[in-house]
Amino acid sequence: MEGKCCETVYAPGAWRSHICGKKAKVEVNGKLYCGIHDPIKRNRIDAERKVAYDAKWERNRLISEKSRLLEGLGKLMITTVANNGDTKYVAEDAKIKIAEYNYIVNKLEPKQEVTNED
């Protein structure tokens, strides 16, 4: 393929742009691009990065949620102890929090569960 890349680029710290000018490897919509500025390749790489980024932040969100639920379970235990072991006030909240906790843990690390044995 004859020709040069038509992508506009900026040098680090520069305020003016210039044309890439590297040897063209692909043609997209009648325009020539080098391997670095190939829009199809760049879109694929950007999509892969976004998937990895989203997975990382979803895992961080789940870990934070897990910590919040564990803190809530701890507070329920303290409330139970403060009520001299009377669980009728906190049993339903504990069941809900344990179910939420199990859901989060299974998303993070499948096959780990906490049971509520009364």
Does the pLDDT value for residue 40 go beyond 80?
A: yes
CB–CB of 33/6 below 8 Å?
Answer: yes
Please write the tens of the pLDDT for every residue from 22-34.
999 999 999 999 9
Instruction: Count other Cβ atoms within 10 Å, centred on residue 90.
Output: 19
- Report residue 70 as tokens: 């564990």
Task: Calculate mean pLDDT across residues 49-77.
Answer: 86
Query: In the chain, where does DSSP find H-type helix?
Result: 39-82, 91-108
d(CA 6, CA 24): 8
